[in-house]
């Protein structure tokens, strides 16, 4: 069994770390708030700082909200970099800037350590069920070293390329997810306003070419009005900001991504930062002055 560190034990990180505890790994844990009791009872060892985690563990995982959070945990006083020694591996499973990721990797490499960016898709359900898709950037040798641990957290595990490429794949994923949510929301809103039962329309579409995981899961959320996260709109906003800022740097136009972001912005303006991202439908409903589930006049 390996000595593994895990920093960031929120909605995603806690169940991911629990899978590693349950597999018998020696786990060193640190997070901004209290380490969940379930991880401690599963054998996790609580550390006071990220530096302590890095001193104790051979492979250190991060699961944090945004680029500045990762920079802080890695390089601040008593951060991970301060506790590293040659031969250790840092694995960032957060969804952050591909450009900054490359810079972080160089700094960690300069300390004689390896770095993987390994953002995930699958949300809280995937984290709890160990069915996450994991998109990895880094060297093949380091990927092979860490892969058995990845397999305790996910099912579709792909080495995309070098450092930063995992984060690029995640940004691409978030573009596709946002645009699919927007398409499903438009379709179900159109159907409901036209007088059809949106639940039955969704059921019919699930048997055809329009079928998708978004239609299955988030279409049901829209019909049933269940917008507890899930994956918060504020986090998807962050990911689309990465997409749009990177696109500007590359000279690429992403018009529909920009539209999806504006719909998220509208949701946040109406108090929806913490809604599940399927709540994007509410922005379209505001414009239509009609909610899915209400009877068309």
* Catalytic site positions: 170
CA dihedral 69, 73, 78, 84 (to 10 degrees): -160
The span from the CA of 216 to the CA of 202, in Å, is 8
- Supply the DSSP string of 229-292, one letter for each residue: -SSBHHHHHHHHHHHHHHHHHHT---HHHHHHHHHHHHHHHTT-TTSBGGGGHHHHHHHHT--T
Query: Phi, psi at residue 92, to the nearest 5°?
Result: -95, 115
- Which candidate, 176, 199, 186, places its Cα nearest to that of 284? 186
Residue with tokens 């930062």: 273
């Amino acid at each position: 069994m390996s000595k593994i560190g895990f920093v960031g034990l929120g909605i995603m990180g806690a169940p991911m770390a629990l899978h590693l505890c349950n597999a018998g790994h020696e786990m060193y844990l640190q997070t901004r708030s209290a380490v969940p009791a379930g991880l401690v009872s599963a054998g996790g060892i609580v550390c006071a700082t990220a530096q302590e985690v890095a001193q104790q563990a051979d492979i250190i995982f991060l699961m944090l909200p945004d680029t500045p959070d990762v920079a802080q945990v890695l390089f601040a006083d008593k951060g991970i970099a301060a506790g590293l020694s040659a031969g250790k591996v840092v694995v960032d499973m957060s969804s952050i800037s591909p450009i900054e990721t490359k810079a972080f990797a160089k700094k960690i490499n300069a300390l004689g350590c390896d770095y993987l960016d390994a953002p995930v898709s699958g949300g809280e359900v995937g984290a709890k069920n160990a069915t996450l898709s994991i998109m990895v950037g880094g060297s093949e040798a380091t990927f092979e070293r860490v892969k058995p641990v990845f397999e305790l957290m996910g099912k579709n595990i792909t080495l995309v390329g070098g450092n930063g490429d995992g984060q690029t794949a995640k940004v691409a994923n978030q573009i596709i997810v946002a645009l699919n949510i927007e398409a499903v929301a438009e379709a179900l809103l159109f159907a409901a306003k036209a007088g059809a039962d949106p639940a039955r329309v969704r059921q019919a579409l699930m048997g055809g070419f329009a079928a998708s995981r978004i239609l299955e899961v988030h279409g049901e959320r829209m019909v049933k009005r269940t917008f507890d996260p899930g994956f918060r709109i504020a986090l998807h906003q962050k990911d689309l900001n990465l997409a749009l800022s990177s696109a500007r740097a590359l000279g690429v136009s992403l018009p529909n991504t920009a539209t999806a972001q504006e719909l998220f912005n509208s949701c946040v303006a109406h108090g929806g930062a913490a809604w599940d991202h399927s709540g994007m439908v509410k922005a379209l409903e505001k414009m239509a002055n009609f909610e899915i589930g209400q009877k068309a006049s």
